[in-house]
Chains A and B, each alone.
Chain A
Amino acid sequence: MAARLLLLLLAAGLVAVPFVAPSHLVFLVATIGSTAIMVAGLSIVIGMAGQISIAQAAFAALGAYGTAQLAALGGVPHWIGLPAVAVATAGLGYLFGLLSLRVADHYLALATMAFGAIVQLLLIHLEDWTGGAVGLPVPPLTLGGRSLTRPIELYAVIMPCAALTVWFLHALMTSRTGRAFSALRMSEVGAAAVGVPVLHHKAMAFALSAFFGALGGGLYGLQTSYLDPAQFGILESVRLIAIAVIGGLLNPFGPVIGATVFVLLPETMGALGRYMSLVFSLLLLAFIIVSPRGIAGLAPRLRPRPGRRRGG
């Protein structure tokens, strides 16, 4: 009951923010929302399914660029374009997940990293489509012929999406699919032996991570209203992993908690702001060293017991 009360207070607070807070703060809270959506994808693929992905920024880029160019070149409104691009990116993510049939562990990490690097290079080199290294402006979200560009308006769009994302994480964790993710994280052999299609579920986890990456990326693009390839490199993928880990990988609120830290902390640093990325990297490192198991139960092994026999 205490948890429900807390949730209610949180919801009330979030509804109140745009009415009481200065517009800069409204913008920041909405940034927490869009960042948390991108990170939610990592909670699924890394946290639940135990598959490493260093490509989340690439999926975010596809969401942001795809939506922007559908609107700019095709005149597709964001209301249709963003969900469509997110679904298409999920499809790509599914295909990408099928790679895990042949590769695992370090190689999978490498493959995702190379994929992220390729996407960023394509953003730079396919200038006709992406504006190249200079980047491109994002057409504003419109509703009934009116452009929604004020922080309050975007807040009203982003925050419900973020709330739904948190709910989705919770629902997923308590569903057969979420349990299958956990199962394959801890023992692929055991999962397959009870009839869980392991490859399909890995691919699903990647698809969901790509979906939320693209959705969050698209929303974030609306906020910044300008995209350039430097925003979507490998370091951004690592930053998103850091947010996911520090927020808590197996907690539906983890992405929100992590994003809050990473978005708000730089605001309080003032002149030290340029050391922020360094601080976050060290924070991540310290976090891992202090509690390697704390990074959300990523210890899939049974504790060793004496007297096991091998052979047969």
Chain B
Amino acid sequence: MSASLVVEDLGIRFGGLVALDAVSMRVAPGSIHAVIGPNGAGKTTLLNLVTGLYRPTTGRVALGEETITGLPPHRIAARGVARTFQNTELFAELSARENVLVGLHRHLRYGIAAATLRLPGYRRAEREAARRAERLLALVGLREQAETAAGDLALGQQRRLELARALATRPRLLMLDEPAAGLRASEADELIGVLRRLRDELGLTLVLIDHVMRVVMGVSERITVLNHGRKLAEGTPEEVRRNPAVVAAYLGGAPHDA
């Protein structure tokens, strides 16, 4: 199920500003890999490039053997890359259940005609989708909130819903943008457990951007550190922790993020 992610010389500039400059990294299949760095280091930009929201100016992105550079986001999603967003991009007025159903969009194979005529194919697919949505909501602990509008959920619940929606696409690679931001310590610990289960039980490859060191250090096997759009360091949590350049970047750059 899982796939490796290869990023080579990836870069993008906006006007004159180089937001990401020749960053390379390899994420082994079935591993948990964190990307950290001070504010403005280019972490979300990297994620946006991999998932196709931005087109890179230079470099290449490959999922397993396949190059996916420059594909539109929905095609990259179709190849098994799912993500969550820093500020969540849920469908606010749809219920939690419907949000997950949209995540299942690609796996529902019937046309408008079948839906209009209520053909058996439509009924079967929708029944199956409803069951899967139910299971995914239960997995993230939102069974009770299935009919609540996504916009009315609490922040932590919205994060979990977005995770369920991402899982609905049956990804091979899951990228999480600050899943722990704003969570309490107990919730963060819970999140660590969830991430490990995703990798162990579903065999996902996980890429995780975060500021919360408790989570990053607790769960990831490798860490890539970005600073000012460049790769500053890479290694195991222990190596990164001891790297003087990383320490300097955090202490000199944005202490509140450390």
- A residues neighboring B (CB under 8 Å): 167-168, 171-172, 174-177, 179-180, 182-183, 186-187, 189-199, 297, 299-303, 305, 307-312
Contact = CB atoms under 8 A, between A and B. Distances in A.
A175 B85 contact: no
Given A193-B77, A302-B88, A180 B102 contact: yes
A312 B40 CA distance: 5
A191 B151 contact: no
3 smallest beta-carbon distances between A and B, as pairs: A190-B89, A311-B39, A175-B115
B226 to A, nearest CB: 9
Q: Which of A172, A193, A196, A305 has the most CB of B within 10 A?
A: A193
B116 A312 contact: no
22 contacts: A174-B115, A175-B122, A176-B108, A182-B91, A182-B93, A186-B92, A187-B90, A190-B90, A194-B77, A194-B103, A194-B168, A195-B74, A195-B78, A195-B105, A199-B72, A301-B92, A302-B92, A309-B182, A311-B39, A311-B40, A312-B41, A312-B44
Nearest to B107: A195
Contact of B169 (A171, A186, A195): A195
Contacts of B151: 302-303
Nearest to A180: B105
B181 interface: yes
Contacts of A193: 51, 73, 77, 82-83, 85, 89, 166
A302 B165 CA distance: 17
Interface residues on B, range: 35 or more
Q: Chain A CB within 10 Å — which of B39, B105, B155 has the most?
A: B105
A182 B77 contact: no
A75 B62 CA distance: 58
A312 B178 contact: yes
Nearest to B51: A193
Nearest to A309: B181
B101 interface: yes
Nearest to A307: B182
Nearest to B91: A186
B24 to A, nearest CB: 19
Contacts of B88: 302
Interface in B32-83: 37, 39-45, 51-53, 72-74, 77-78, 82-83
